[in-house]
A = this chain, B = another copy of it.
Amino acid sequence: MAGYGQFCPVAKAMELLDERWTLLVVRELMLGSRHFNEIRRGVPRMSPTLLSTRLRALTRAGVVERWEDGHQVVYRLTPAGEELRPVVEALGAWGVRWVRELGDEDLDPHLLMWDIRRNVDLDALPGGRTVLQFTLHDVAPRARRWWLVASADGVDLCDADPGYAVTARLESDLRSLTLLWRGDLSWQDALRSGRLAVDGPSTVRRALPRWLTRSVFADVPRPA
């Protein structure tokens, strides 16, 4: 793709950043992904070839640094890449306010559960091990049931029963849980309307919203 033929800094920035997928790859790196297949997990519809191309372009542009650690390959943002955070944040805040309609194609249980998993607030987690069982009743069998195993050591997400005693069960549908995650729906409204049901001890139920945190954009105020 040719450039814009403009010296304007916005144009120069967009020559790099407006290429499809590019800023989503940057987002993944901001969220802490370091390895090729870890990044892929956040952009599953992107072909590996294309991810490879984009990582190379970002590296050439000085946004990403590729570095071989033993026989591992590690990607990370350079200072220039880190400084894209305000851009990504502004885009997300705008998107959550003004792009409200989600098509069915935008819903993805794997992405959703992965996002939920990586936003568990370990500091707010009750002591011991908490095991949440999620059921998304409108989703194909393979991706219908999930187990979130959280303890001070970390969080695991399983799509098969790991065998631990379940602390609480959440039932919802894919869209409702997605809306809750995005902050388009509050915990209160989700529960009151029956779009989400939580089955478990009331102490666990009450603690849930504190450590099962939502998207960083969830609290962006919505337009009246």
Contact = CB atoms under 8 A, between A and B. Distances in A.
In this complex, the interface size class of chain A, counting residues with CB under 8 Å from chain B, is 35 or more
Number of copies: 2
Interface stretch (A96-104, A161-169, A191-199): A96-104
A66 interface: no
Contacts of A95: 8-14
Given A19-B18, A80-B98, A94-B83, A178 B7 contact: yes
A122 interface: no
A160 interface: no
Interface SS majority for chain A: helix
Contacts of A79: 223
Interface stretch (A49-57, A85-93, A128-136, A148-156): A85-93
A9 B96 contact: yes
A113 to B, nearest CB: 12
A108 interface: yes
Interface of A: 1, 3-24, 27, 43, 45, 61-63, 79-80, 83-84, 86-88, 90-99, 102-103, 105-108, 111-112, 115, 178, 181-182, 215, 217, 223
